[in-house]
């Protein structure tokens, strides 16, 4: 095995930052002065709120609550929605690299991939949520849209169900089954200087630093800096990754005001990334998953992404009962891809691959203003909220695709060829060297809500309305001729919580989702679509949900029953992308978390889903299951402190998913799968410094399986699960 080499510049930068922070800490540590200063405790606050982060629940893997859109941060027992907030402790202990790694723990979420690219996407309650629609500190569209490194966030918050009133419409039309919000890192009360390094399968290595300090006589100012470099292969043959990241979080607070600022830059590069597998129209069954280490990517393929982003958020208390807030952010990103996905045409795994080059540039701006107020009228307490939000995306794009000049290969025995030139018959859109404006999306809304507290706070009734305007304009390739729409709608919400006992809450909600109409893809299984880039009108989804939550102090959980209807889109027999019928997702969710016994933590649950196509107008699809959505899925994890061996812990996690279908007619059945992951860590002290050693094996049995199916309307493309992957790391706190 060859040695692992790190570029000198990123490693030197991380080490220099760490040493500088140590020096700064030594210079600014206050000396004891009797009677001069009292101890001040500052609650780290990602969203500039007075309350700070919610406390971790017993066991430390999840928090006691999280952000519920414009309603702010709420305790899990007081909100009429199903939520989970995963903590930095879980993220670090599992060596999670991205949002997808964290959400493997969630029984209601399954990780998928974008259409024709390597974007991390997620099925929540069977509905797709693209990483475009992930919020950063409550604002959409600020984070990298393909891959989000775990170094960028303190917590991962999952809100299950539709949320038009709570969060507004999402940029790309997701958010029907739920939303994901990432909280940035903040400086805590204790100084932090942490340097970490590790290696994993494929001779991949990384080094990172995490530095935090608070300043001033009252510790009112905080700074948190993160830097990371990751480079090397993966467990997949000849696949390579390179990641560079830098982020800075600042916060300041006084008695009545709080401000936070976040800036970040991420560059993510994939070389010979293994592509999705599309099933050809002639197939009558799904081929078996190939060896999980095989790479059917062509040697000249790549996917690069570069993002720079920032946001500012502030709150001001006009008086003890009235608070106003404001937030704004922006992102600029550049993506370049040279791809060749494989379309399998025979049961033996043979297929075609066509060169596809793509360039994309995004410019995003977003802002939010709001006010919260509390008042009491008789025996009823009111928590009022009002907000205005704005979002704008300008996407430039260019592509070239040689669909009629395919290369013959196989997903079982791949054939590599030299980079082919484009032929005269290739499909083209704009200039790859100078991408032109393709899409402009503007979302604006005004929302008002009131939470009424009744019966000595045992009953909570939340009512709200959001008036939203969606403006979406598409521009034809080359000509730039615009077409689009501007539509408005009022989205209502009603939620109710009744605290049957201090440990038990019953809840119910009715809420709608409002989504930008889907955009017709360039191609599907059978070839080009005849209205590529066409945008459908916005659609409304309607959700009804009831549930019960339990908080036993050391162990907690919830049961939820839900039903959501969503208009559907598909490619018709004339190869046009149109809206017709609806998808109805009904299901049951069980989640659990906490510390079952001293030193034994549990996390996971079970989801049962009945996702059917309704009123499709075709007997071949009516009543059939939605592409890529299983009937059953779940995950369960345990984390155990070994008795008598201080500092040593083991963890195990099982992730399982039932079978699903890769086509609307349900003729292509994709087998279910289960995976076992194991980890260990040891915390000790060395020369007065805290040292944490971690080791992990994902997919212990090295199973071959199709990890996800689809992620775009009427496309049942397959993603092969990763091989057995080893990771070891060491972190030192100075």
Q: Decide the pairing of beta strands 178-183 and 155-160.
A: antiparallel
Query: What's the whole-number mean pLDDT along residues 294-319?
Result: 97
Model pLDDT, residue 29: 37
Say if CB 631 and CB 658 are below 8 A apart: yes
- Identify the weakest region by mean pLDDT among 59-63, 275-279, 611-615: 611-615
- Identify the weakest region by mean pLDDT among 88-102, 435-449, 532-546, 649-663: 532-546
Query: What's the whole-number mean pLDDT along residues 316-343?
Result: 97
Report the candidate in 531, 618, 631 with the shortest Cα–Cα distance to residue 581.
Answer: 618
CATH assignment at residue 532: 2.40.170.20
Say if CB 441 and CB 169 are below 8 A apart: no
329 CB contacts (<8 Å, ≥6 apart)?
136, 139, 141, 142, 309, 310, 311, 312, 364, 365, 366, 367
Q: In what order do the strands lie in the sheet with 342-344?
A: 407-410, 350-353, 342-344, 277-279, 718-720, 706-709
Query: What's the whole-number mean pLDDT along residues 340-350?
Result: 95
Query: What's the whole-number mean pLDDT along residues 113-127?
Result: 91
Q: How far apart are CA 453 and CA 449, in angstroms?
A: 13
How many other C-beta atoms lie within 10 A of the C-beta of residue 672? 16
Model pLDDT, residue 522: 66
Q: 225's torsion region: left (phi>0), alpha (psi -120 to 50) or beta?
A: beta
Query: What's the whole-number mean pLDDT along residues 455-483?
Result: 94
Q: How far apart are CA 734 and CA 195, in angstroms?
A: 8
Q: 453 pLDDT band (50/70/90 cuts)?
A: very high
Longest dimension (CA), the chain: 83
Q: How far apart are CA 469 and CA 490, in angstroms?
A: 9
Residue 48 reports pLDDT greater than 80: no
Q: How far apart are CA 311 and CA 331, in angstroms?
A: 9
> φ, ψ for residue 22 (rounded to 5)?
-60, -45
- Any domain includes 21: no
Question: How far from chain centre, in Å, is Cα 550?
Answer: 26
Domain of residue 524 covers: 42-733
DSSP string spanning 88-148?
A: HHHHHHTT--BHHHHHTT-TTEEEEE-TTS--EEEEETTEEEEGGG-EETTEET-S-SS--
How many other C-beta atoms lie within 10 A of the C-beta of residue 645? 9
Model pLDDT, residue 434: 96
pLDDT tens for residues 199-234? 999 999 999 999 999 998 889 999 999 999 999 999
Residue 609 reports pLDDT greater than 50: yes
Q: How far apart are CA 278 and CA 275, in angstroms?
A: 9
Residue 344 reports pLDDT greater than 80: yes
Q: How far apart are CA 374 and CA 4, in angstroms?
A: 58
- Identify the weakest region by mean pLDDT among 274-283, 533-542, 612-621: 533-542
Residue 288, classed as helix, strand or coil, is: coil
How many other C-beta atoms lie within 10 A of the C-beta of residue 34? 5
Mean pLDDT of all residues belonging to the chain: 91
Q: Residue 22: enclosing H or E segment and its boundaries?
A: helix 8-28
- Any domain includes 130: yes
Structure tokens that stand for 490 in this block: 């009022």
- Any domain includes 515: yes
Which residue has better confidence, 347 or 37? 347
What number of residues does the chain have? 734
Report the candidate in 428, 22, 16 with the shortest Cα–Cα distance to residue 213.
Answer: 22
Question: How far from chain centre, in Å, is Cα 618?
Answer: 35
Q: Rg (Cα) of the chain, in Å, rounded?
A: 25
Model pLDDT, residue 326: 97
Q: 3-state SS string over 485-546? A: EEEEEEEEEEEEEEEEECCEEEEEEEEEEEECCCECCCEECCEECCCCCCECCCEEEEEEEE
Residue with tokens 């935090």: 212
Q: How far apart are CA 647 and CA 627, in angstroms?
A: 45
Structure tokens that stand for 183 in this block: 């909280």
Report the candidate in 200, 305, 288 with the shortest Cα–Cα distance to residue 721.
Answer: 288
What domain count does the chain have?
A: 1
- Any domain includes 700: yes
Query: What's the whole-number mean pLDDT along residues 350-378?
Result: 97
Say if CB 393 and CB 440 are below 8 A apart: yes
Say if CB 209 and CB 14 are below 8 A apart: yes
Residue 114 reports pLDDT greater than 80: yes
Q: Which residues of 346-360 are buried (b: 16+ CB within 10 A; e: fewer)?
A: eeebbbbbbbbbbbb
Q: How far apart are CA 593 and CA 555, in angstroms?
A: 6
pLDDT tens for residues 258-271? 999 999 999 999 99
Say if CB 150 and CB 198 are below 8 A apart: no
Structure tokens that stand for 205 in this block: 């290595």
- Any domain includes 554: yes
638 CB contacts (<8 Å, ≥6 apart)?
600, 601, 602, 603, 651, 652, 653
Q: 537 pLDDT band (50/70/90 cuts)?
A: confident
Structure tokens that stand for 257 in this block: 């005001």
Q: How far apart are CA 281 and CA 526, in angstroms?
A: 6
- Identify the weakest region by mean pLDDT among 22-36, 362-376, 438-452: 22-36
Q: Decide the pairing of beta strands 192-200 and 725-733.
A: antiparallel
Model pLDDT, residue 378: 93
Report the candidate in 3, 47, 115, 8 with the shortest Cα–Cα distance to residue 532.
Answer: 115
Which whole-number Å values give the CA distances from 485 to 326, 514, 539, in the listed order?
29, 15, 13
- Identify the weakest region by mean pLDDT among 77-81, 535-539, 547-551, 589-593: 535-539
DSSP string spanning 386-428?
A: EEEEEEEEEEEEEEEE-TTS-EEEESSS----PPPPPPTT-EE
Structure tokens that stand for 502 in this block: 């201090």
- Identify the weakest region by mean pLDDT among 397-401, 484-488, 617-621: 617-621
């Amino acid at each position: 095995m060859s040695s692992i080499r790190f570029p000198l510049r990123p490693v030197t930068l991380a080490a220099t930052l760490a040493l500088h922070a140590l020096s700064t800490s030594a210079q600014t540590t206050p000396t004891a002065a009797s009677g001069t200063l009292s101890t001040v405790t500052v609650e780290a606050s990602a969203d500039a709120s007075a309350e700070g982060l919610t406390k971790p629940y017993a066991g430390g893997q999840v928090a006691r609550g999280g952000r519920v859109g414009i309603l702010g941060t709420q305790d899990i027992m007081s909100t009429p929605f199903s939520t989970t907030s995963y903590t930095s402790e879980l993220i670090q202990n599992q060596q999670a690299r991205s949002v997808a790694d964290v959400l493997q723990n969630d029984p209601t979420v399954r990780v998928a991939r974008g259409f024709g690219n390597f974007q991390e996407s997620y099925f929540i309650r069977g509905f797709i949520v693209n990483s475009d629609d992930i919020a950063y500190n409550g604002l959409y569209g600020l984070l990298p849209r393909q891959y989000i490194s775990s170094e960028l966030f303190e917590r991962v918050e999952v809100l299950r169900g539709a949320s038009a009133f709570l969060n507004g419409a999402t940029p790309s039309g997701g958010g029907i089954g739920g939303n994901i919000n990432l909280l940035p890192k903040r400086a805590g009360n204790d100084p932090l200087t942490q340097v970490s390094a590790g290696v994993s399968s494929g001779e991949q290595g990384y080094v990172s630093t995490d530095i935090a300090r608070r300043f001033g006589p009252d510790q009112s100012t905080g700074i948190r800096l993160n830097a990371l470099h990751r480079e090397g292969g993966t467990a997949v043959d000849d696949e390579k990754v390179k990641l560079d990241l830098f982020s800075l979080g600042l916060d300041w607070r006084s008695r009545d005001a709080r401000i936070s600022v976040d800036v970040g830059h991420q560059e993510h590069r994939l070389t010979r990334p293994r592509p999705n597998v599309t099933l050809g129209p002639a197939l009558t069954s799904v081929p078996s998953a190939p060896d999980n280490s095989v790479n059917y990517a062509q040697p000249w393929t790549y996917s690069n992404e570069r993002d720079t982003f920032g946001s500012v958020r502030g709150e001001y208390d006009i008086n003890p009962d009235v608070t106003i807030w404001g937030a704004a952010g922006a992102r600029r990103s550049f993506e370049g891809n040279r791809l060749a996905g494989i379309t399998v045409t025979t049961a033996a795994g043979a297929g075609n691959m066509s060169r596809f080059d793509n360039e994309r540039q995004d410019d995003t701006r977003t802002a939010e203003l709001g006010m919260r107020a509390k008042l009491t009228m008789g025996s009823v307490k009111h928590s009022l909220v009002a907000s205005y939000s704005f979002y704008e995306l300008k996407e430039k794009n260019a592509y070239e695709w040689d669909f009629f000049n395919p290369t013959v290969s196989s997903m079982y025995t791949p054939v590599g060829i030299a980079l082919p030139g484009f032929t005269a018959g290739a499909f083209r859109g704009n200039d790859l060297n100078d991408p032109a404006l393709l899409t402009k999306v503007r979302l604006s809304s005004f929302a008002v809500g009131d939470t009424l507290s009744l019966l000595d706070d045992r009953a909570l009734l939340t009512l709200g309305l959001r008036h939203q305007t969606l403006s979406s304009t598409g521009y034809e390739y080359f000509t730039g001729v615009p077409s689009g729409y501007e539509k408005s709608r009022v989205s209502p919400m009603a939620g109710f919580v009744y605290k049957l006992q201090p440990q038990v809450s019953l809840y119910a909600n009715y809420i709608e989702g409002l989504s930008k109409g889907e955009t017709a893809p360039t191609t599907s299984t059978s070839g080009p679509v005849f209205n590529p880039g066409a945008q459908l009108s916005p659609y409304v989804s309607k959700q009804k949900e009831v549930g019960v939550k339990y908080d036993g102090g050391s162990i907690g959980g919830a049961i939820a029953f839900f039903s959501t209807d969503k208009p559907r889109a598909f490619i018709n027999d004339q190869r046009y992308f149109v809206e017709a019928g609806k998808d109805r997702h009904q299901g049951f969710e069980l989640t659990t978390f906490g510390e079952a016994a001293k030193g034994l933590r549990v996390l996971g649950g079970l989801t049962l889903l009945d996702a059917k196509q309704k009123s499709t107008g075709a007997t071949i699809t009516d009543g059939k299951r939605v592409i890529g959505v299983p009937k059953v899925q779940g995950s369960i994890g345990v984390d155990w402190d070994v008795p008598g061996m201080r500092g040593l812990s083991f963890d195990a996690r099982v992730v399982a998913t039932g079978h699903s279908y890769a086509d609307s007619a349900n003729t292509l059945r994709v087998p279910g799968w289960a995976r076992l992951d194991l980890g260990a860590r040891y915390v000790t002290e060395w020369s007065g410094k805290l040292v944490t050693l971690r080791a992990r094996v994902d997919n212990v049995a090295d199973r071959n399986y199709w990890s996800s199916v689809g992620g775009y309307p009427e496309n049942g493309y397959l993603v092969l699960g990763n091989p057995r992957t080893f990771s070891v790391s060491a972190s030192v706190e100075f």
